[in-house]
Amino acid sequence: MRKLISYRKEIIIGIIPVLLSFIIYMGFPVGILVMGAIMLGVLFMMSRRGGLAMGAAGKKVKARKPSYLTFDDIGGQENPKRELREALDFIVNQQKIQSLGIRPLKGILLTGPPGTGKTLLAKAAAQHTDSAFVAASGSEFVEMYVGVGAGRIRDLFKEARELAVKQKRNSAIIFIDEIDGIGGKRDGGQHREYDQTLNQLLTEMDGVQGDENVRVLLVAATNRKELLDPALLRPGRFDRHIQVDLPDKGGREAILRLHARNKPLHPDVSLVKVAEETFSFSGAQLESLMNEAAIYAMRDESEVLTAAHLTLAIDKVMMGERMDRETTREERERVAIHELGHAIMAESVRPGSVAQVSLTPRGQALGYVRHHPQQDQYLYTKTVLEEQIKIALGGAVAEELHYGGRSTGSRGDFEQATNIVRTLIESGMSDLGIIHPEALTQEQWSRENGVILDELIKQTRLLLGSHMNTFKQLLQLLISEETLSGDQLRTQMKRVAA
């Protein structure tokens, strides 16, 4: 076979010079012919790679079979799971839906922060309804050539129906992740390819008729719902909008238990405590936490995961990997004073809130204080916001009390404090009262920000000034140990106070 192919190549190579000689003899413009041949070759190669719409739509979006996954395999997210089950009833209970005269849903939009399980919910939906499943990403439809994305949308819906027929199923679910890549608001500009792709998607959704042999449901996910075109969001297109938020404490514990099923845990490990210390963690971060804890156990040649491994994993997910940075004695002492300022301030206004004080460099931080909320909190009063500001200012104020000045290590703290001040002002809790943020000039913002921070710095300075003996007792201990637990900190503070 190889000899035959080689023989054919030799014949073609031999014919080309003869053909060119004949063209020159006949007087044809060789330059134009060569350019035409090059262009045809380029177009042929692009069509082979799927860069240009040839035939139907060039490169097709391939179906992806989901791994077997049920709603029980997804930790937490009880509300989204319940809403999604109810929305899927039109596929599971078709006769009941028809008897009540309910129009079948055409689309379900899952919205929420990254890593909260939107893709997992879509896969579980396919298993729940026993539907054929086709998945794609919004970026797969974006091309610089007009018509390619629209063609791929047509192919996607066609492929879903054909797959359902092949699998002898009467329904199909199409999942498009990051749909904002093709469903963004149309601004009337020159982005014809984006507009045509979106228009084709809208047409396909409108074409899903209730009397078809295969019912097609479009499930899409995005973390930027505000960017989507209104035509997508209206009833009759995406009929259900399901919010998939960060898990609460109970949800975090359920997720941790799911990811701990194949990991040997020490009997002293409390996943309830870990759930308390991981406020605002997403499901993806919790999975990473358990994986990192197992890696730390492997490094220590331990057969089980201990509480210390989980603590290190929490720090890594929150702050980043430990860095090998060499610091001078003076820098180390200043960092210790700075972090103790945060920790002592936190314990003064919110007793029991400090989980750990560390001088271990992680990410961009030379040291850090890890807090754990005693309960999940979503609403904040003026008192709570002012306490957060004072905790953020504690590091800089501690440096002032001990060294007479600040360092560049306070830059992030000041940014955090000013952001909280902005929240306080926009919530109508400042002396300005209830006012629209855009009604304030930059000068008014700066003046009110300065008034609030100056008062809170005074309060922070007075409170930390009364704990100078506590700083002295804890400074050498923190420098020598590098890490203090919240219990150690509280014990020392009580001992000095006594």
481 is an active site residue: no
Rounded-to-10 torsion of CA 488, 490, 491, 497? 140
Among the options 140, 178, 339, 387, which is catalytic? 339
Helix (H, G, I), strand (E, B) or coil at 302: coil
Structure tokens at 55: 């035939």
State how far the alpha carbon of 409 is from the alpha carbons of 230, 332, 390, 491, in Å. Answer: 45, 12, 16, 27
What is the rounded distance in angstroms from the CA atom of residue 110 to the CA atom of residue 102?
Answer: 22
Angle at 212 between CA 85 and CA 140, to 5 degrees: 70
What is the rounded distance in angstroms from the CA atom of residue 413 to the CA atom of residue 391?
Answer: 9
What is the rounded distance in angstroms from the CA atom of residue 384 to the CA atom of residue 372?
Answer: 15
Beta strands in 70-154 (DSSP E): 107-111, 132-137
266 dihedral zone (left: phi>0; alpha: psi -120 to 50; beta): beta
Rg (CA), the chain: 31
CB hemisphere CA count around 10 (13 angstroms):
6
What is the rounded distance in angstroms from the CA atom of residue 220 to the CA atom of residue 233?
Answer: 11
Cβ proximity of 201 and 153 under 8 Å: yes
Rounded-to-10 torsion of CA 28, 34, 36, 39? 180
Q: What is the DSSP string of 108-127?
A: EEEE-STTSSHHHHHHHHHH
What is the rounded distance in angstroms from the CA atom of residue 342 to the CA atom of residue 354?
Answer: 9
* φ and ψ at residue 368, rounded to 5 degrees: -160, 160
Residues annotated as catalytic (active site), given as ranges: 339
